[in-house]
Chains A and B, each alone.
Chain A
């Protein structure tokens, strides 16, 4: 996880823990990333990774119960783009689980319908880490720039 200085650009977004609010975070991430010269596919994938992280916070940390905060802090400097997705819900420990998306594409009966979010985050981002501090859980996603 990169330590950002006070000179880095930083913005904090907070939404209520409802899935119908997540698109607002997506639009913000898309808008910021679109200004960084990353290309449409990379911008989409970054938005996707952050949305997956926010979805996880809502579904798993808060059990899809509304009324709780999910905060996304976006920090950017010339070297890195970092997203901290924080909640005050249940500690997930999900980074200890395997993230391989292992299935046989020819076997239609056993295709996964869920559990793809962490795999996507790890494919898109250069670093994925998780920490718990003072009752607050934070998933940190880092993407190197250029």
Chain B
């Protein structure tokens, strides 16, 4: 699971480069995000622009990452494709996560908090 990372001020932007976050890759994805959280990252933007398929295991890994912040930080999503967005709506997870249309808006959102 290749995930690009770039720090923008206090915000870490992570961008999975694999097309699918699914049952076969969810564990590796979750471990990577957990690593950054353990290193002290509390403001994370998850840029999903390169991802064209997420299943419930992948979504569960994203939820787990949010919970791993323990209420001391936040994970914001940006640039999901409309198809992937439909998974968030099917599961009502669109009411859990802030999902923004651009990385700039997502970084600005977390920078203000």
A residues neighboring B (CB under 8 Å):
19-20, 22-23, 26, 40-41, 43-45, 47-48, 51-52, 55, 58-59, 101, 103, 105, 108-109, 111-114, 116-117, 119-120, 123-124
Contact = CB atoms under 8 A, between A and B. Distances in A.
Contacts, number: 83
A48 to B, nearest CB: 6
B2 interface: no
B20 A116 contact: no
Nearest to B87: A48
Contacts of B71: 108-109
B83 interface: yes
Given A103-B92, A108-B96, A116-B59, 4 more contacts: A19-B22, A22-B24, A108-B71, A120-B91
B66 A108 contact: yes
Nearest to A101: B91
Nearest to A23: B20
* Among A44, A55, A58, residue most surrounded by chain B Cβ atoms (within 10 Å): A44
Interface in B60-81: 60-61, 63-64, 66-67, 71
Contacts of B55: 48, 51-52, 55, 117
A22 B64 contact: no
6 contacts: A23-B20, A41-B83, A45-B86, A51-B23, A59-B23, A111-B96
Given A120-B91, A123-B90, A52 B56 contact: yes
B22 to A, nearest CB: 7
Interface of B: 20, 22-24, 53, 55-57, 59-61, 63-64, 66-67, 71, 82-84, 86-87, 90-93, 95-96
Contacts of B23: 19, 22, 51, 55, 58-59
B66 A111 contact: yes
B48 to A, nearest CB: 13
Contacts of B57: 55, 114
B53 to A, nearest CB: 7
A22 B22 contact: yes
A36 to B, nearest CB: 16
A124 B86 CA distance: 11
